Amino acid sequence: MEKVDCIVIGAGVVGLAIARALAQRGLETVVIESEPAIGTGISSRNSEVVHAGIYYPPNSLKAQLCVRGRDLLYDYCEARGIAHARCGKFIVATSTQQIALLEDLHMAGRNNGVDGLEMLSGTHACKSEPQLSCVAALHSSSTGIVDSHAFMLSLQADCEAAGGVLAFASPVIAGSSSTNGITL
């Protein structure tokens, strides 16, 4: 029976990030992926938005991790030359009744520690983005986009450089755990 320190099941963005972190801590790490390549699941079917952290409940772990993770992601992309753009985002009110909702979002984002949030009049928002049609907008300057496949390739490279191994076309169909780790 083969034994390793850590098994990560799934080579999506989450599995790759975890495997990278484990391998870089010196743990023998194997990623087991059912498909023949990395990132063929949800990680290749998303909008590639780097979220600012506006929508999560105040003081939630999700809110904290989103704000911290966003900054780490931008730093990592910068350091590795991964295509990304801190392009910002407008959340718009198309009627005066919606302005209160925008103000609530503004407050929630600030409570979550999201920087770069600004309430704009419709005129101001449309001046900077002429395609918009709105009566007010919340601008989030820390929202962006990222080439998620390039990001995953970089996580894979880091993992392998630290001694991690990826096994493709290997669906996990059963397993058991013990205090010493998982035995397959």
- CB of 165 vs ligand FAD, minimal distance in Å: 14
DSSP assigned state of 41: S
Which residue from 127, 178, 157 is spatially nearest to 24, judged by alpha carbons? 157
- CB of 13 vs ligand FAD, minimal distance in Å: 5
Candidates 12, 53, 144, 164: give the one binding ligand FAD (CB under 6 A): 12
Q: Which stretch binds ligand FAD (CB under 6 A): 21-29, 39-47, 89-97, 108-116?
A: 39-47
Q: Transcribe 114-133 into DSSP letters.
A: --SEEEEEHHHHHHH-TT--
* Rg, C-alpha atoms of the chain: 21
Contact 24, 155 (CB under 8 A): no
Q: How far is CA 113 from CA 66, 70, 156, in A?
A: 10, 12, 31
Task: Determine, following the binding rule CB under 6 A, whether residue 9 of this chain makes contact with ligand FAD.
Answer: yes
Residues 98-157 that bind ligand FAD (CB under 6 A): none
Q: Which stretch binds ligand FAD (CB under 6 A): 36-44, 84-92, 126-134, 176-184?
A: 36-44
SS3 category, 31 = strand
Which residue from 26, 22, 28, 24 is spatially nearest to 5, judged by alpha carbons? 28
φ, ψ of residue 108 in degrees (nearest 5): -60, -45
CB nearer to ligand FAD: pick between 11 and 137: 11
CB nearer to ligand FAD: pick between 12 and 109: 12
Q: Which residue bears the tokens 């506006």?
A: 54
Size of the site for ligand FAD (CB under 6 A): 23
Task: Determine, following the binding rule CB under 6 A, whether residue 85 of this chain makes contact with ligand FAD.
Answer: no
Candidates 7, 19, 22, 32: give the one binding ligand FAD (CB under 6 A): 32
Task: Determine, following the binding rule CB under 6 A, whether residue 49 of this chain makes contact with ligand FAD.
Answer: yes
CB nearer to ligand FAD: pick between 43 and 156: 43
Question: Contact residues for ligand FAD (CB under 6 A)?
Answer: 9-15, 32-35, 40-43, 45-49, 51, 171-172
